Every structure is written in C-alpha cells, then in structure tokens.
Chains A and B, each alone.
Chain A
C-alpha cells in the first residue's frame, strides 16, 4: 500500500508529461497563477452549490377572533381569542440532487397548545420523463387550498370557508403520491394519485378515528389565470365519535370535490363544491362556497357565501338523539378585506355571519339542544376576525 501511494505521484507526473511539454511556453509563475485561479473557482462553485441546495422558509399567522355569542363558529366565542387561528410554521428544503428533494415542515398551532407537529416530511424524486414521486408525511390533497392550508399569506381570505373545509377532520396522511404534469401549449394539466393512512385524535371534539386505505385521484388544469380541479378520495374509517358514544366499524367514506378559480391580477374568484358520503351512522354532507374579490393596489376587498348541509337526514328520522347530533345546516356570508400592508405581511379583516341552521345545531360545537324548549340555543352567529399573515 505504501509503495502504491508513493508510486501514484510518479505515475501522475508521467501521465502529465505530454501536457507539460505542450504547455512548455508558459512560465511556472503563470502556471501557478492559472492553477490558483482554477482552485478558487472550484471552491466558489462548491460553496455556492451547498447554500443553493438548502433553503429555509417560514410563515406566521396571528389572529384575533371574537363572536357575538358562544356558538363556537371556528372556535370563536364572545371573549376575544388570540390562539384559535394563530399559527407558526418552519420549512426546510434540501435538494439532495437535481432530481431528489427532502422537505420538512414543522407546524405549531395555538388551537393545539403550540405543540410541534410535522405537517410535511417527505422525500420527492422527479424522473426524467416528468413523473414525480413523493413518500412520507403529506397533505391530503382534497381541497384547492389543502397544500397550503396554514399559509394564510398565500390565501385571499382570512381563512378558507369552514363550511367546506371542516367537513374532513384530517389534513395529512402517511404514504405516497405520484404526479405527472402534462405541459400543454399555454397551460398545464397535473394528474396525481395518492394513497396511505392517517388518524384523527381530537379529544375536545370527541373524535378518535383510524383511517386506512386512504386513496384518491386528483386532476387540475391551469393556464395561470384559470384553474380547474376535480378530486375523488376514499378511506376506511374505524374508531368512535362523540367521545365513544357512537362506534364506527370499518365504514367507507368517500369524498368528491370540484373547484375552480380565476385571477387576472385584478379580479379573483374561487369556488369549490364538495360532498362527503360515509356508510353507516355518520352524516353525509354537501358544501360549497364562492369568493369574489377585487384588488385595488394593496387592498383586496372580498365577499364569500358558503353553505353546508347534511344529505342523509332521512336515515336518522326516527332516532332523535342521532338527528340532533348529526343533522347540520348552515349558510355563511363573509365580507373581508386583505391589505398587503408591508412586504411579506398581509393584514386581513373579516366579518362572517352564519345563519339558516334549520332544525339543527348548524355544525357549531357549543350549540346545545334544550329539551324543554325543543330548540337549539343559537340560531345565528356573527364572527369578527383580524389576522396578520406573514411569510419569510
């Protein structure tokens, strides 16, 4: 081994002899200067590529929410609440190679006592043919805003309308997806298939569910002004709801969604329509919203109308406790303003009025049924929000 090491420089010099002969006209000083130059540029290239490979980003939302009553719309009550909609996220992205990336996003939510959770943690690989495969912990891509559900800065409104977004109690899963972008002349069609498993443990809402065989397909088309999207997803649900009151035994839940958006730089319009169908006792529902906004320099006033209703009331007609628990109806009207106050920071003001609950609790957690009067406590609610959304 020692001999080999000693022999190596000699072998190299011999191999380089012809080159040296050609470069004979250069003086040693010139050669050294040239080599130094080369070493320097190699070094710069290397450090540059390392810093270029890693990126760190984050987002923060601080929200003030209050309501004219304690019905519990979005967790809002008549006392001011700063933690319900406040959140913070950090994301590190590392490009292992040109085609392989590792992404980790950590989230802390005020509604969850600022406990640290990984929302995204995956490895992604792009093949030469344009197919992209990801594996790890991912967002369930059911809604238009699913992928950046917590990044308020990237959304026009103070929050995605809960009439649609609260119909599915989980937002991430462990598994994988495979996506392909078809580049059309002036637009892109993306098709994505996903599969995995998840669980829901929300003690305050009495939910304890295991979701297995989560799978779905989603297609979206965009020309960067118009976007259209369709999605189907399903899962097997096992566990209990109502704090153990109702057992759920391997029931199939199916989700369908259609969405569209328009953004020409001035006008913004977003609409989504979704349905949830679950076997057995859990409620089936249908929901939709339409948001329209108009940008005037740094200000974007918007209006939203949203509704939600259960579609299987007849299954519970003869069983009053189940009907009181599961039947839901609600229409919500929001007026809001997004103000792009300073670079990277948007301030949002929103007033939402929810009403038309019919003979139901309207999907509001604190809206109890009074057996003496035969009515629910609240038949509407007004919610005020001021929210700061920042990205860095």
Chain B
C-alpha cells in the first residue's frame, strides 16, 4: 500500500514538474521587464520600439500565457484585438508557430519579446520575466 502511495505521489510530482510555467523571453542581452510591462506590450501599449511575438491561435502555451499575464481568454483577446483593429489603433503582434520559431525570432533582436514554456528555454534566449 505504502509503495503504491509513494509511486502515486511520485507520478503526481512528475506530472506537476512536466507542466512547466510560461516565461517571457528576450534576446540574450535584453533587460528584465515587469509583469505590468509585459501586459502592456502584449496588448499593444507601451514602448513603440518593442517587437512582440505571439504563438499562433489555438496554442495551449498562448492561452496559458494570456491567462497569467493579460488575464484574457482566447475569445476575450480576440474581442480586444478586434476593437483595436477596427478603430485603427493597431494590429495584433506577429505570430510564430512553435517554441523553436519563437526562440529564433527573439534571439537576434534586443527589442523583441516573446514567450515559451520554461522547459523550452535554452542559451539562445534569456528569461526576462517569470510571471
């Protein structure tokens, strides 16, 4: 019984650690940003020189990121951007297909920000916020 329990506990732990948090990434030389900076950037406000990348719609990491950082669900985000688009205030950020594409998009530009699953972080990028 004890064995079964400890196996169960172990597997729960491993499931939990497999579900790594989403992190905001920048080029290796980029400076850290605050959670409110990140919220502004991903909603098209704040620094005009910043280049922002999103994962494409329907991506689970994208939903998780917005749940934590901007507090918006997929459909709320869609409604938010349709407000911006149809009032000429701005277009949603460019999208990339996966974590690898995100890393290569962000890696070379010190003004670029994106987000990936923490498990996908490697030396090509720097974690600038753990929301």
Contacts and interface: CB of A to CB of B under 8 A. Distances in A.
A153 B82 contact: yes
Interface string A162-201: 0000000000000000000001011010000000000000
Interface string A131-149: 0001000010000000110
Given A89-B86, A93-B88, A154-B83, A298 B39 contact: no
A224 B83 contact: no
A391 B72 contact: no
A189 to B, nearest CB: 12
Give the interface size bracket for A toward B. 35 or more
Interface in B67-117: 70-76, 78-80, 82-83, 85-88, 91, 94
A148 B87 contact: yes
B56 to A, nearest CB: 12
A57 B39 CA distance: 24
B76 to A, nearest CB: 7
A148 B72 contact: no
Contacts of A374: none
Contacts of A346: 75, 79
Give the interface size bracket for B toward A. 20 to 34
Q: Most chain-B Cβ atoms within 10 A of its Cβ — which of A91, A148, A344?
A: A148
Contacts of B87: 139, 147-148
A147 to B, nearest CB: 4
A154 B45 contact: no
A391 B81 CA distance: 10
A284 B2 CA distance: 79
Interface residues of A: mostly helix, strand, loop or mixed?
Answer: strand
B43 interface: yes
Nearest to B35: A186
A391 B82 contact: yes
Given A122-B88, A265-B71, A59 B82 contact: yes
Interface string A70-105: 000000000000000000010101000000010101
Nearest to A55: B91
B43 A224 contact: yes
B57 interface: yes
Q: When A and B form their complex, which 10 residue pairs have the shortest distance between CB atoms, in order from nearest?
A: A340-B75, A147-B87, A265-B71, A103-B88, A154-B83, A391-B82, A154-B82, A186-B36, A151-B86, A154-B79
Given A91-B85, A224-B70, 8 more contacts: A55-B85, A57-B82, A147-B86, A153-B82, A265-B76, A295-B73, A343-B75, A346-B75
Interface of B: 36, 39-40, 43, 45-46, 57-58, 70-76, 78-80, 82-83, 85-88, 91, 94
